[in-house]
Structure 1
């Protein structure tokens, strides 16, 4: 009888302990504290917001906005079982303050400029800055790369789609364009994806790994899901296999360039700049360090510009008034002579205020890095007075900030490029803390001018040549990743302008 009595006592004791824990942690994750200096997000006893967050992970950006709406303030505290305590904020002062921290994406980005800190970050930024100069922008980038590949895209994809009366996936096409251009700018390598209209395995694996990185941030079982994928989805590539595809792509580029340099060839691309650089210890960069530089540059160029262009076309098609005003500026400024003269095209686009305003307004509503998170390495106090403890995650959403009436006014959710134009017609500049589309502070995006230039060159030339129309019946929603792609792409019909 003793074992049965013992089992009964143990069961009662466990139930009592569970009851006491439920009473104490009745609205938050177990063993987390209620913060008195900051509003607390409502959650389930013992689990906090874990189940709600996992259930809504595919719409996490809207979930973030829902949670923030629970308070009149701009900062709140949330706990989820299995994840670090989280401070959620849309306060521009806090966003400006939080620029450094531990990253959660190192298997993909390694110690590249996105994930690096301190000396590693500084030397990579200094090395990369060599390629981002005005002469390159005006001459090489604009004409020899961007316009050249736009002409290929027109001939190989858009003209044929028009002739056949068939729709295209604009997002898929523009991804190939930006991948082609940035791989060439960074590494002197021609993929010819636009010539052959092929699928690039590297790009597919890169997208999968970005999505996996995001899942680890929002779900306590993110890594477990990746590990179980071969069992749950037999036949699909595993995370390790996708990483191998990415590594093979990067290391093959590096090896090929080493052989070319050994033969006496000279290059001015980004990879060559890193190959002659030294790390903080004064040593040549290892293949792993070069790989990290490769991948960080590609995501900075390929994803950001392609996604912004895709969302821009969608917003223009949904807002004919804006499209007509933009087309008017393009027709006035971009003559045939200007289009064929790269320096003139560069100088002209720089002064096209409404084109910039459209581009910036899309980035306000659909930022390419819509959600960011940093982990506190030590105790701190945010500018709004919130106490941050070592190990806390500080999570902010550029997506939620762009839709916040507290930041942008009552028309925050409206697509209104005019908000970027001053009374004198000049372009308005906003603080990175209010509009963190390109980050801010010392980590402000090194390639923001290049990304804007490529985006606007592509936008004005495509709209000058073609008229697009949405294919009816498609669902336009984002897919959660580290960046901000459309889940199902953007299907459009193509028509030539005059």
Structure 2
């Protein structure tokens, strides 16, 4: 006689069967997106998997996300699409210049830094200008704008930058040329701009260029920036970071890295308060903001000063280092461009910068934008210039990296490095709409330091090009690391020789 099944097993079997039926029903209802997410049939979509959307694609392509996004636009033959993955909010992505200008400029007030960005980066960025919205942002922007337009601040900026160029040349590139050992150009650029922007911001010399290893502030700074992006693409970051702290106690936690940065910042701020009280004068950003007030008319406290100044370091240091690195990579892989540029540089012995270097930098930032992808959050319903309907609480994405390589935006030669595309028949530098070339953002949030950063980058390019001949070390992979900005994943090793 057959024994009857245990009642617990019968119940488990019924639950399993019911769960399977429920999942099957949900998979039919949500064949290409996560369960309970809204279908957007009015917007092109490359689809995804039942119940999980594009999550597998994101995971498979996490080291090459920018190519993955470009492939999505090219596959659909469109400049706007939509996709959603498990744990991701509803998002609409575009590389249409009209839409991007609409987001950044025309309907600026409707698009803000959203909850995702704030949550992933608030402990690093605080309420600084990079992360702020509304009145907090407006007041910081106004104060920073006044400071950036003061002539003696601009003169101080240039003096500090040139000082560190000379130190870098004498102590690193000259030494490499003498001993024949290659150096990591990308790492040197990061140390150079970190020293420059920390001195401009805090008025102290970090000595990153003179140190063989990363100084503690620099090491923690890099870890926290990379982590901010990883949080952005990992909705479960609070859980994964907590598990990492438990199972890898020997590894310095994100909070410990933040403490290292804060200890440095607060120590400098307290010392500067005393120095200013004793009648000393300083030209750095910190000292200037100590004389400013917040949106409530109150002097900035230490936390507010920390946020303001660190945001400036983050905004300037990485973008400038990466622009210089990708510029020299582009020159070394396009020797005919380097030869033409060098000839012009040698002719201009007065140090006046003609148009070719500016066209070069524009082309570098077209293909290697310092912020390769960006995102905002819609406060209200909207309709984009291409007819796309945006709904309240949508996240909107745009990808300057994908846009720069799109043949629908830049023509059949979009993926080629051609600085001459920026020159008119009269030899003047061509201007493009900020929606087509959003290298420095656009609208009310246009980069305050655009003119300063461009000038200093061009000075560095011309100085290094005149003095040195760089050669790529064979056999290395030069590619980007997926982050909030566009660093080189493995650096860029070069041999150095003096120009004849």
Give the TM interval when normalised to the shorter protein. over 0.9
CA distance in 2, matches of 1:328, 1:265: 46
Would you say 1:230 and 2:232 are equivalent positions?
no
1:480 aligned residue? 482
Retained in 1: the 8 A contact 2:148–2:154? no
1:84 equivalent among 62, 68, 89 = 89
1:216 aligned residue? 231
1:109 aligned residue? 125
CA distance in 1, matches of 2:150, 2:420: 28
How many correspondences in the alignment? 484
Correspondence list, 1:101-180, <5 A: 101=112, 102=114, 103-104=117-118, 105-133=121-149, 135-136=151-152, 139-142=155-158, 144-180=159-195
1:437 equivalent among 436, 439, 459 = 439
3-state SS of the aligned residue for 1:266?
coil
Correspondence list, 1:418-497, <5 A: 418-497=420-499
1:328 aligned residue? 343
Taking structure 1 as the reference length, the TM-score comes to 0.93
Q: CA deviation at 1:79?
A: 1.1
Which moves more between the two structures, 387-396 or 306-315?
Answer: 387-396
CA distance in 2, matches of 1:35, 1:165: 59
2:108 aligned residue? none
CA 1:396–1:330 in structure 2 vs 1: closer, same or farther (change >3 Å)? same
**Residues 249-271 of structure 1 deviation map (CA, whole Å, 9 limit, x = unaligned):** 22122112111111111223211
Retained in 2: the 8 A contact 1:149–1:177? yes
CA distance in 2, matches of 1:97, 1:264: 48
Stretches of structure 1 that go unaligned for 5 or more consecutive residues are 339-344
Correspondence list, 1:34-433, <5 A: 34-99=39-104, 100-101=111-112, 102=114, 103-104=117-118, 105-133=121-149, 135-136=151-152, 139-142=155-158, 144-231=159-246, 233-333=248-348, 335=349, 338=350, 345=351, 348-349=352-353, 352-433=354-435
3-state SS of the aligned residue for 2:471?
strand
1:342 aligned residue? none
Which moves more between the two structures, 103-112 or 38-47?
Answer: 103-112
**Residues 375-412 of structure 1 deviation map (CA, whole Å, 9 limit, x = unaligned):** 22333322222222233211111100100111110000
Retained in 2: the 8 A contact 1:146–1:457? no
CA distance in 2, matches of 1:252, 1:481: 29
CA distance in 2, matches of 1:136, 1:94: 38
Retained in 2: the 8 A contact 1:175–1:302? yes
2:30 aligned residue? 25
3-state SS of the aligned residue for 1:469?
strand
Taking structure 2 as the reference length, the TM-score comes to 0.93
Which moves more between the two structures, 64-73 or 296-305?
Answer: 64-73
CA distance in 2, matches of 1:459, 1:131: 26
Q: CA deviation at 1:139?
A: 3.9
Stretches of structure 2 that go unaligned for 5 or more consecutive residues are 1-5, 105-110
CA 1:138–1:187 in structure 2 vs 1: closer, same or farther (change >3 Å)? closer
CA distance in 2, matches of 1:418, 1:322: 9
**Residues 194-239 of structure 1 deviation map (CA, whole Å, 9 limit, x = unaligned):** 2445522222222211221112222333343322223554522111
Which moves more between the two structures, 386-395 or 18-27?
Answer: 386-395
**Residues 432-470 of structure 1 deviation map (CA, whole Å, 9 limit, x = unaligned):** 110011000110000011111111111100110110000
**Residues 273-316 of structure 1 deviation map (CA, whole Å, 9 limit, x = unaligned):** 21111111111112111111111100111111110100111110
**Residues 341-385 of structure 1 deviation map (CA, whole Å, 9 limit, x = unaligned):** xxxx4xx12xx1000111110100000000111122333322222
CA distance in 2, matches of 1:232, 1:84: 30
CA distance in 2, matches of 1:464, 1:391: 51
1:341 aligned residue? none
3-state SS of the aligned residue for 1:88?
strand
Give the superposed CA RMSD.
1.7
